[in-house]
Amino acid sequence: MSGPVYLGFDLSTQQLKGLAVASDLKSVAQAIFDFDKDAKGFDINKGVLTNDAEKEVFAPVAMWLQAIDTVLTRLKDNGLDLSRVKGICGSGMQHGSVFWNANAESLLSMLDPAKSLETQLEGALAHPFSPNWQDASTQKECDEFDQVLGGEAQLANVTGSKAHHRFTGPQILKFQRRYPDKYEKSVRINLVSSWLATIFLGKFAPFDISDVCGMNLWDVPKGTWCEETLQLTSGTFGVEPLKQKLGGVPEDGGSHLGNISDYFVKRFGFSPDCQVVASTGDNPSTILALPLRPNDAIVSLGTSSTFLMSTPEYLPDPAVHFFNHPTTAGLYMFMLCYKNGGLAREEVRDLINAALHPADVNSTSWAEFDKYLLETKPLAQEDDSKPVQMGIYFPRPEIVPNLPAGQWHFQYDLASDMLTQTAKTPHYPYEDARIIVESQLLSMRLRSRGVVKSPGNNLPPQPRRVYLVGGGSRNKAIAQVAGEVLGGSEGVYKLDLGENACALGAAYKAVWAIERSEGQSFEDLIGGRWTEADFIEKIADGYQADKYEKYGKALKGFEQMEKDLLAQHLA
């Protein structure tokens, strides 16, 4: 094979993935480093370490260094000629921070290709760990952030989001209070995405214009740092030193940051002309995995669950997130994000398997879960005269709504508008397969209804298409229910390579950044090369009038259920 190749890297909670595409967007190679299976010397579980007493979830940064060397070795061993790579772009789990010390840039610039990244760069870190998006240790700091501009709505108006435990601003505030010496000695703070770019570049890389919006520190409408939240975050250390630690933010999402570090040229055979492109967050990268059209929705069914749309309207609200689009000025990314995605579905799956097959307590089969998911009627309503069943399933403390870990069950009478809390569902845990999937999807529908529009033909507001990505995208039973709850006038689709959507989006970003003509948009270049039949598969029907209307009526009860639970836990 010949011709240019572009590498996209996705650094997620449990894996580092490297994926190579050609100019025609076809995948040509990939390699994975699974942290639990492949990492040496780290006592992790599902990619992270935890301090349950403090609700802390974090990862050792040295483990990621180990992963980069290994993934590149595997790509090369699999036959990829790395000298063909013209551009590299990263996708990093959002919000996580890495603190570099004063030795960092010197060490980055003098890497010995005969030695590993891990052995050479551990001494460049001011702190050995990076907080994970599942971390819930910053409630005190979040309360301060939500008040610094006069309330959470005002904070959302300026920074695109209310304060969240995982967001980088509250995390930095906690860090500088707990480790003032380490904070003062830090010369640069990276996000996970800019950390990836820093490693490949061999010097500090800036934040990307989209990922910077996940910090509660960036004024999205003004396109500059928010002085008030910077002041809160820096405390007595001052705003200017913090600005120096954060660095600049190029407006062009396709910025060429520079040539790849000489370390990778000599160790792996990269061309010295290979360009490092501004890396972005995993969620912004996901919307780059296809030329997303207006009113299309991406639902990511991974460890967490997310709902993503591209929109020209900036409509901030404390319940949602708005980010700058990672490539296209004038567009925004609308996002809902839930900690309790795949983990919550797995918990119900395991309950069903244990009830049916007590001798096989370690079964991870989805067969029984899928069976009961499809056999149970919508909202587990036995007939139209009976109440519908609802529930909330949170193995971990949740973001939206802000509730502790727990499981709650309710009945809602559609006719009388009566909501009643119950101990369990009538046929626990079997019909919970249906109820948990509906619960996750109803929350997305509730919070996206201000953004979705009618796709035409006198249809009610709903997405044109629903694209599923992530591990759960393989599950056609979940896809069927997604269409029933969320709609989708043209159906529900699985994105090919959906489990690698973040790496794919990063690779496409590199293609666009290197090969675009002057003024050419991402949508224009990628859309012109993207052949729908090669990349997506329709796996379920979307809009069904009777079921969509029924779920629409249930939204009122679902919203009240959340309000009641919030009131209980605030009391």
Helix (H) or strand (E) holding 510: helix 501-515
Are 235 and 286 in contact by the 8 Å Cβ rule? The answer is no
How does pLDDT run across 382-426, given as a tens digit for each residue?
999 999 999 999 999 887 898 999 999 999 999 999 999 999 999
Q: Is pLDDT at 434 greater than 60 in this prediction?
A: yes
Are 7 and 507 in contact by the 8 Å Cβ rule? The answer is yes
3-state secondary structure of 124: helix
How does pLDDT run across 17-38, given as a tens digit for each residue?
999 999 999 999 999 999 999 9
How does pLDDT run across 25-78, given as a tens digit for each residue?
999 999 999 999 999 999 999 999 999 999 999 999 999 999 999 999 999 999
Q: Output the six-digit token pair for 314.
A: 């900036």
Distance in angstroms (rounded) separating the CA atoms of residues 299 and 494: 10
Query: What confidence tier does 285 reach under pLDDT thresholds 50, 70, 90?
Result: very high
Distance in angstroms (rounded) separating the CA atoms of residues 510 and 505: 9
Give residue 335's identity as a one-letter amino acid code.
M
Looking from the CA of 473 toward its CB, the CA atoms found within 13 Å total: 26
State the Rg of the chain over Cα: 23
Distance in angstroms (rounded) separating the CA atoms of residues 59 and 134: 11
Query: Which H, E and C letters describe 198-247, residue by residue?
Result: HHHHCCCCCCCCCHHHHCCCEECCCCEECHHHHHHHHHHHCHHHHHHHHC
**Burial (CB count within 10 angstroms: exposed 0-12, middle 13-18, buried 19+), residue 327:** buried
CB atoms within 10 A of CB 151: 13
Q: Is pLDDT at 128 greater than 60 in this prediction?
A: yes
Q: Output the six-digit token pair for 500.
A: 């690698």
Provide the whole-model pTM: 0.86
How does pLDDT run across 491-534, given as a tens digit for each residue?
999 987 657 889 999 999 999 999 999 999 999 999 999 988 88
Q: What spatial distance separates the first Cα and last Cα of the chain, rounded to whole Å?
A: 65
Distance in angstroms (rounded) separating the CA atoms of residues 57 and 403: 17
Residue the block writes with tokens 């929109």: 311
Bridging pattern class, strands 218-219 and 15-22: unpaired
